[in-house]
Amino acid sequence: MNAFKDGELPNLIKTLLRPAPRLPLAVLLTRAVRRIASRRGDLIERLGPTARVPVAIMPSDLPFSFRVNLDGASARVEVVTVEEAETAAARIRAPLLILLGLLDGTYDGDALFFSRDLVIEGDTEHVLALRNTLEQADLTPAEFAGLHGPAADLVNRATAELLSGARRLVHAPAPQKLPS
């Protein structure tokens, strides 16, 4: 039984992504994470020892997963098989749009966990440290791209609209904005 029927990307997308080259995606994501780490050192500091622990981000609707190490300048994102991701000390599993919603503050991780839209496995101490850091970070898509000013505003608005439309299309859970 698939616990993530609602909110998952269509199977067609999963099929189309299966043969996609993983290295370019890993390089792009690693650059974005390193950019955040260099500009927001407070986030890495807040993570403490968790920054050195590989955490698997496992989109349930993609044919691959991500193994993320957030250790400052050596931070990296690897695109790995689901089987390889299973070996990480901590694993976070949900549909891609829900995982992105956790990153941008659209969703409350606790609510998703208790509604079983989000599965956490392994060393939960690391997942909690990551969750607490992300909730305080107030990250935007523009920050990952290194944008500022009007370009950042445009990218943030466009990304929010795109993700909102995609979530409606796949019947993802309603947004649960966290109180400020």
Q: What are the pLDDT digits (tens) for 112-126? A: 888 888 999 999 888
Confidence at 1, pLDDT banded by 50, 70, 90: very low
For domain 11-169, the CATH superfamily is: SCP2 sterol-binding domain (3.30.1050.10)
Confidence at 171, pLDDT banded by 50, 70, 90: confident
Mean pLDDT in the chain?
A: 87
Q: With CA atoms as reference, report the closest residue to 93 among 66, 133, 69, 123.
A: 66
Other beta carbons within 10 angstroms of residue 180's beta carbon come to 5
- Cα of first residue to Cα of last residue in the chain, in angstroms, is 37
pLDDT score at 119: 93
Rounded Cα distance between 74 and 34, Å, is 8
Interhelix angle 96-104/124-137, nearest 10 degrees: 60
Rounded Cα distance between 136 and 43, Å, is 9
Specify the range with the lowest mean pLDDT, choosing from 44-48, 79-83, 95-99, 173-177.
173-177
Within 13 A of 134's CA, how many CA atoms are on the CB side? 24
Q: With CA atoms as reference, report the closest residue to 95 among 166, 161, 145.
A: 166
Q: With CA atoms as reference, report the closest residue to 76 among 45, 30, 36.
A: 30
The residues that bridge with 90 in the sheet, in sequence order, are: 55, 122
What are the residue boundaries of the structural domains of the chain, listed by start? 11-169
- Determine if the pTM surpasses 0.75: yes
